[in-house]
Structure formats: structure tokens, C-alpha cells
């Protein structure tokens, strides 16, 4: 360990922070799909040198947030129905696996917390509050992630969920009917978890994710049509 002497540990580099800032701007559509990103503009806007900026842009490219332009430079990656399909296919597999692994690790108080969240989702749906339905749904899934205790799976899933979140900020929302259906699907999932049968839980979770993906596909089709006509 002699070689480690005198080495400074930096919790988060400037490049890491720049990556996080730019990724969040892309997710929130403040850097819109297809927008060209000029280094000199970003460097001035973020008040930093080109080196950490280029480091961040390289990572963003590796993670699919930006795309290289022939002849030099980068642009914000565009959106597509195909990407939605791929993201939800991956999410379906990963969340199905984690739900199955969590099945027999959930305690009575965990099941009570899930029941409480479903009741809140149902009330939010009755009030036509899509954001609250989404927030309670996230908390429901977070409990399952925590109990599954599969860190590598969760690491991959978080990246997928970040890309999915981007579509919501673009204005792609669930239909009014989807709000109630999401609550019903979480109720079915909880009932499956109570039985303690992992294979059944995985099946119900995968169906739930698939239905959610179909709703987003319908919405993104309308959004893309509106953009092309506008």
C-alpha cells in the first residue's frame, strides 16, 4: 500500500459534477432533443474549463445522453418510439427479477407500507393528480428494490429509469384512465406478494411494467406527431 501514501481522495470531481448537471438538464428537457452542444457556450455557461467539460461529454456519450455529430461536436440524443420499447423491455426483465427476489424478504410492516401507498395512489387517482400517482408508485417500487438487495441489478435499473424519466419531462404523461389502472396493478402486485409465490410476483410485475410502457408509447406517438406538425 506504499503507493497510496500522499494520495488525496476527492469525493466528486468537477467532471462528475458537470456530468450530473448536464444529464439533469437533458432529462428535464432544458437541453432539448437534437440540440447541438457547443463547448465554448457550455464552458461559459457553467464557468469551467474545457477539460472537465470534455470529460463529462464523453461520459454522456457513453451513457447515451448525447451523440457525436459527423465533423465534430455533439448533440443531445433524440427520442424515439424504439428507445421507449427497448427501455421498457429492459425494465420489465430487471424489475421482474427484483420483485421475485424480494418476495420472501418482505416483512409484515413492509406489506403494510405497500398497502398504505396503494391507498394514497387510489386517492390521488380519484383527484386526477398524475404526479402524486407517479410519486407514490416510485415509493412502492423503492421498497421492493430495497428488499431485493441486488445492487448490480439496481445500478443498471437506475440508469434505465433515468432515461425513462426524460420522456415524462418532455410532457409525455399517462392518460386519465392510466392513473386508476396503475393503482389497480399495484394492488394486484401486492396481492401476489402476500401469497409468497415468487414466480407469480415476477409475472405480475412484468405485466405491470409492460402496460406502463404501452401507455408511454401511445403518448410519445402523439408528442412526436405534434412536434413534426408544429
Examine the domain organization and report whether 138 and 48 are in the same domain. no
Q: What's the pLDDT band for 11 if we cut at 50, 70, 90?
A: very low
Examine the domain organization and report whether 71 and 86 are in the same domain. no
The pLDDT tens digits for 33-87 are 999 998 888 888 888 888 889 999 999 999 999 999 987 789 999 989 999 999 9
Domain with 63 in it: what CATH number? 1.10.10.10
pLDDT at 107 over 60: yes
Last residue of a domain, one of 76, 106, 129: 76
Examine the domain organization and report whether 70 and 90 are in the same domain. no
Examine the domain organization and report whether 68 and 92 are in the same domain. no
The pLDDT tens digits for 144-172 are 999 999 999 999 999 999 999 988 877 65
Mean pLDDT, rounded, for 174-189? 86
* CA 19/CA 13 separation, integer angstroms: 10
Domain with 174 in it: what CATH number? 1.20.120.530
* CA 124/CA 165 separation, integer angstroms: 20
Mean pLDDT, rounded, for 177-183? 87
Examine the domain organization and report whether 113 and 219 are in the same domain. yes
pLDDT at 190 over 60: yes
The CA-based angle 32-210-198, given to 5 degrees, is 130
Phi, psi of 123 (to 5 degrees): -65, -40
User: What's the predicted TM-score (pTM) here?
Assistant: 0.85
**Enclosing domain of residue 55:** 2-76
Q: What's the pLDDT band for 216 if we cut at 50, 70, 90?
A: confident
Contact 70, 163 (CB under 8 A): no
Amino acid at each position: 500500500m506504499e503507493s497510496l501514501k500522499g494520495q488525496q481522495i476527492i469525493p466528486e470531481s468537477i467532471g462528475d459534477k458537470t456530468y450530473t448537471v448536464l444529464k439533469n438538464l437533458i432529462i428535464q428537457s432544458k437541453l432539448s432533443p437534437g440540440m447541438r452542444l457547443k463547448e465554448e457556450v457550455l464552458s461559459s455557461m457553467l464557468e469551467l474549463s474545457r477539460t472537465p467539460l470534455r470529460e463529462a461529454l464523453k461520459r454522456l456519450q457513453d451513457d447515451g445522453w448525447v451523440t457525436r455529430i459527423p465533423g465534430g461536436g455533439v448533440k443531445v440524443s433524440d427520442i424515439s418510439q424504439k428507445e421507449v420499447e427497448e427501455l421498457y423491455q429492459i425494465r420489465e426483465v430487471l424489475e421482474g427479477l427484483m420483485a421475485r427476489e424480494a418476495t420472501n424478504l418482505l416483512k409484515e410492516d413492509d406489506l403494510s407500507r405497500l398497502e398504505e401507498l396503494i391507498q394514497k395512489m387510489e386517492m390521488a387517482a380519484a383527484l386526477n393528480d398524475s404526479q402524486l400517482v407517479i410519486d407514490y408508485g416510485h415509493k412502492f417500487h423503492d421498497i421492493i428494490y430495497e428488499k431485493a438487495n441486488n445492487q448490480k441489478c439496481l445500478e443498471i435499473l437506475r440508469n434505465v429509469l433515468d432515461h425513462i424519466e426524460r420522456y415524462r419531462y418532455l410532457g409525455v404523461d399517462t392518460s386519465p384512465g392510466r392513473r386508476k389502472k396503475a393503482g389497480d396493478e399495484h394492488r394486484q402486485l401486492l396481492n401476489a406478494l402476500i401469497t409468497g409465490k415468487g414466480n407469480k410476483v415476477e409475472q405480475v410485475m412484468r405485466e405491470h411494467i409492460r402496460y406502463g410502457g404501452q401507455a408511454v408509447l401511445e403518448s410519445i406517438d402523439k408528442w412526436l406527431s405534434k412536434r413534426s406538425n408544429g
